[in-house]
Amino acid sequence: MITFSSVFALLALVAVSFGQNDIVNPGSKGSDVVETVCSLLEASCIFEDDKLFTRRLAYVESYDGEDPKTFRQGYYGGIWQVDEVMFNVTQSPGGYANMSRTIADINGAFGIDWRTVNWTDLTKPLYSALGARLYLQYQSRGDRNGIPRATDAQAQYWINYYRPTGNAVDFIQKVERLDSDCLNAGTDIVFVLDGSGSIGITDFGKIKQFVKSVIDSFDIGFDKTRAGIVLYSSATSVTRPFDLNTYDNKTEMLAAVDRIIYPSGSTRTDLGLDMMTNVSFTAANGARPTNEGHPRIGIVLTDGGSDNPTWTMNAAKRMHDANILAFAIGVGSSLNIPELMAIASTPTCTYLILLTTGFSEIDSLVSVIEKKACEAPIILEPEEGQRTNSTLQPGGSQNCQLKVTPQGVTVKLAVLAGVAQDEVVSFYTSSTTYPTESFYEQKSVGWTDKQAVVFVTPPNRNITTMYCNYRTSSQLPTTVSIALFSGDTDLCASQPCQNNGTCADRDDSIACLCTPNHSGDVCQYGAAASLKSLRLLVAVFAVVLVAACRLQWL
């Protein structure tokens, strides 16, 4: 089993060109760093679902560390601004007694023994976030409700347990300013809605309002985000109110949601999942081809166990095998947790959402779904002759997952359009979470004349999926094409180009991009050699020309 600590150790041993780990570098800051830290904490499943609170807290406290006062002289609380007195609480005898299990989990996941950490270590982003979460856990130990979802409720939670001198209006305004623009190329989303008798017509109305709110948060269109709905209850009541290609505008789509009628009946969740997998996500019903780089997301919402959990789990496996990313949203106190975990994609800490207090919290889920859907990955797997084309928005990026075979896979990313001189597309990999420029294990850069190429091997046989991300530095829409090949097919691995030439992998051949002072198939000729060769060629041509003239004269 791979641990986060083993990855950190690996990055410490290799050259910086093969790994970047800003999250444990003192003074690192910025949204990339904060997003990576939050993703690692979420994937570790150490803390309870924080409903985006940790992410928001970094911005509220220090604008992701960009506030000039963040790393002021004599202060070491870091991005999350954990004061020394707050840090001391996390290491107090009472704090350790209350949080010993969490502290042990931190050591197991990240290789950090919190008892030996100093306040000065919190200038490292990961340490600052851990300190903030531990302090919150201890301070709120008597609050059975946990972290709330709604922004205004989180503002009060922040004041109650973290910053007693804080201002709720200030918290709310900063969260609203926190950039939430989605820069992906558009996602295909299908809602799978439980319409069984236990829901009731009142709560079914809340489900519809939730669906409308999620739809309203996206830019809807056939060339943007598409949405469809599957409604299920009894075996004879599994329908599709509309498909991914039914509506290309938000107004008509929202009106169609209003027209959905509550069916009542039993709970055939398996049939709802199969309808989504086998019917909704087909080209005939508007699903875009997977090689066009559009993530496929299922949002499954139910209030209880299905009629047959085994059938449901089998249907969930078929859904995952079809590379559909699934949110499982369970509402109420009569939930079948193993069933929901089977439906949710991994890590379940991200994709399993439990609203145990009922439908009152459902509206506050919208921001979570919007953010996670925007970050949804496309699935890449080796297929002979198959390429995945994707268009990145200006300055945008796309998460992805690599299906890795035991012998490894070679990723080759070609830049087709949108990148000018000095602009590049970077491809990153990680075994623990979606990488960024601040946190990756491998990185390769491509531009118009050169593919980004990286050979990826699983850290152990239990790992079959690796995380990846690619992003453009261009301020124009950038089109890329990605291919995966089984095994190591990096034709430039031997570095065949001489004299600082750049090797460009063409899939089945190479080309050497030479510096201005060199030429030749592998840049073997310098400027002087090239001039000498040219003079020799001219001389030979002159001799041939003279000989030809003499023959003609004779």
Same domain? 250 vs 389 = no
**Residue (of 26, 15, 39, 6) closest to 399 by Cα position:** 39
> Residue 284 class from Cβ within 10 Å (0-12 exposed, 13-18 middle, 19+ buried)?
exposed
Of 90, 84, 57, 73, which is closest to residue 162 (Cα–Cα)? 57
Residue 183 lies inside a defined structural domain of this protein: no
- Residues 272 and 395 occupy one common structural domain: no
Collect all residues with Cβ–Cβ distance below 8 Å to 159 and sequence separation of at least 6: 166, 168, 171
Q: Are residues 112 and 19 in the same domain?
A: yes
* 293 and 386 fall within a common domain: no
What does the alpha-carbon distance between residue 53 and residue 152 come to, in Å, rounded to a whole number? 12
Residue 131, C-beta contacts closer than 8 angstroms, at least 6 positions apart? 77, 78, 80, 82, 86, 87, 90, 117, 122
Q: Which residues does 57 contact at the CB level (< 8 Å), separation at least 6? A: 80, 132, 158, 162
What pLDDT, on the 0 to 100 scale, is given for residue 461?
A: 75
**Which amino acid makes up residue 454?**
V
* Domain contains 433: yes
Whether 459 and 533 map to the same domain: the answer is no
Burial of 288 (0-12, 13-18, 19+ CB in 10 A): buried
Tell which residue, 478, 503, 483, 414, has the closest CA to residue 452: 414
* Separation CA 383–CA 406 (nearest Å): 15
Strand 442-446 versus strand 325-331 pairing type: unpaired
Q: Are residues 18 and 96 in the same domain?
A: yes
Last residue of a domain, one of 153, 177, 201: 177
Are 174 and 55 in contact, with CB atoms under 8 Å apart? Answer: no
What pLDDT, on the 0 to 100 scale, is given for residue 444?
Answer: 94
Tell me which of 467, 490, 513 is where a domain ends. Answer: 490
Distance CA 35, CA 178 (A): 12
Both structure tokens of 490: 């990096």
Indicate whether 67 belongs to any domain: yes
Residue 243, domain member (yes or no): yes
Chain-centre distance of CA 114, in angstroms? 28
Q: Using CA atoms, how far apart are residues 438 and 188, in angstroms rounded to an integer? A: 29
Q: Domain check: are 233 and 358 in the same one?
A: yes
Measured over the CA atoms of residue 481, residue 485, residue 489 and residue 495, the dihedral's sign is positive
Structure tokens at 28: 């690192």
Position 532 scores a pLDDT of: 53
- pLDDT at site 375: 86
Domain identity same for 421 and 479: yes
Question: Are the beta carbons of 399 and 421 closer than 8 angstroms?
Answer: no
Same domain for 249 and 227 = yes
203 lies in the same domain as 328: yes
Domain that holds residue 538: 498-554
Last residue of a domain, one of 149, 177, 205: 177
Whether residue 162 sits in one domain with residue 16 = yes
Residue 357 lies in a domain: yes
Query: What pLDDT score was predicted for residue 7?
Result: 41
| CATH number of residue 436's parent domain | 2.60.120.380
* 541 in any annotated domain: yes
Q: For residues 364 and 390, state if they share a domain.
A: no
Q: How many domains are contained in the chain?
A: 4
**pLDDT tens track of the chain, all 554 residues?**
345 454 444 333 332 246 778 999 999 999 999 999 999 998 888 987 788 999 999 999 999 999 999 999 999 999 999 999 999 999 999 999 999 999 999 999 999 999 999 999 999 999 999 999 999 999 999 998 889 888 999 999 999 999 999 999 999 999 988 855 666 668 999 999 999 998 989 989 999 999 998 998 888 999 989 999 999 999 999 999 999 999 999 999 999 999 999 999 999 999 999 999 999 999 999 999 877 888 999 999 998 789 999 999 999 999 999 999 999 999 887 888 999 999 999 888 888 988 877 777 777 788 888 888 888 899 898 876 688 888 888 988 999 999 898 889 999 999 999 988 889 999 999 998 899 999 999 999 999 989 999 999 887 777 788 999 999 999 999 999 999 998 999 998 888 999 988 888 888 888 998 988 889 999 988 865 454 554 555 565 555 555 555 555 45
In this structure, what CATH number is given to the domain that contains residue 210? 3.40.50.410
Does residue 221 lie within any of the structural domains?
yes
Amino acid at 477: P
3-state secondary structure 393-423: CCCCEEEEEEECCCCCEEEEEEEEECCCCCC
As a whole number of angstroms, the distance between CA 466 and CA 430 comes to: 6
Position 250 in a domain: yes
pTM value? 0.81
CA 103 – CA 529 distance, rounded (Å): 65
Round to whole Å and give the CA distance between 298 and 276: 8
Instruction: CATH number of the domain at 503, please.
Output: 2.10.25.10
